[in-house]
Amino acid sequence: LSLGNLMVIAPSKLHPLWMTPISSLLFLMSAITVGFPMIIFESLLASRSLKLRPEMDVLKPLARFVPVFLGLYLVLKVGDLLVRGSWGYLFDGSTESFAWLAEVGLGVLMPMVMLLTVRVRRSPSLLFVSATLVVLGVVLNRVNVFLIGYRPPYADGPYFPSITEISVTIGLIAMLILIYRACVIYLPVISHPAKEEAA
């Protein structure tokens, strides 16, 4: 939400596909939309990593709500483009147009269609793929707003993170994964039904 507010005060620096007065609302809606997919993504990834049975009885009901949130987000995002009259930029063949279409096509439309089918919601692998697409779609949105679409008027070239910034980001993610694994292995965070049945 705060990142969306930050972009509102920089109207001359952001491409029209993402420059909108409701930027903070779109950021908030995307954060809400990615909530259940992130839970599904983390749960299935943890189950596979720790060799546990996926908790499909919990994940299947969650997956039913994801298309609803994706649909609301899509209507809000496309409606904003139409109201502002910026939809023409989608067909100018620029890098920004391809980035926007990839963000919405791969991160919103494709997982929404997938999760509308019962077969996908019942399959751990397909459910993981659809949840991953939603997560990557939100990540791509942030990349589009702060890298692809961000153009300061007096900059020598587009901004791209330095090796140090990329290394710090990867290091923080790796540290979080390590802490998480340590917690679930050595603390009673995730139950192990196979061990309980064997006992």
Three-class DSSP labels, 156-179: CCCCCCCHHHHHHHHHHHHHHHHH
For the entire predicted model, the pTM comes to 0.83
- Tokens representing 160 are 């791209």
pLDDT band with cut points at 50, 70 and 90 for residue 38: very high
pLDDT digit string (tens) for 110-120?
999 999 999 99
Dump the DSSP string for 111-126: HHHHHTSHHHHH-HHH
Residue 42 has pLDDT above 70, yes or no: yes
Number of C-beta neighbours around residue 156 at 10 A: 5
Q: Give the pLDDT confidence of 64-73 residue by residue, as tens digits.
A: 999 999 999 9
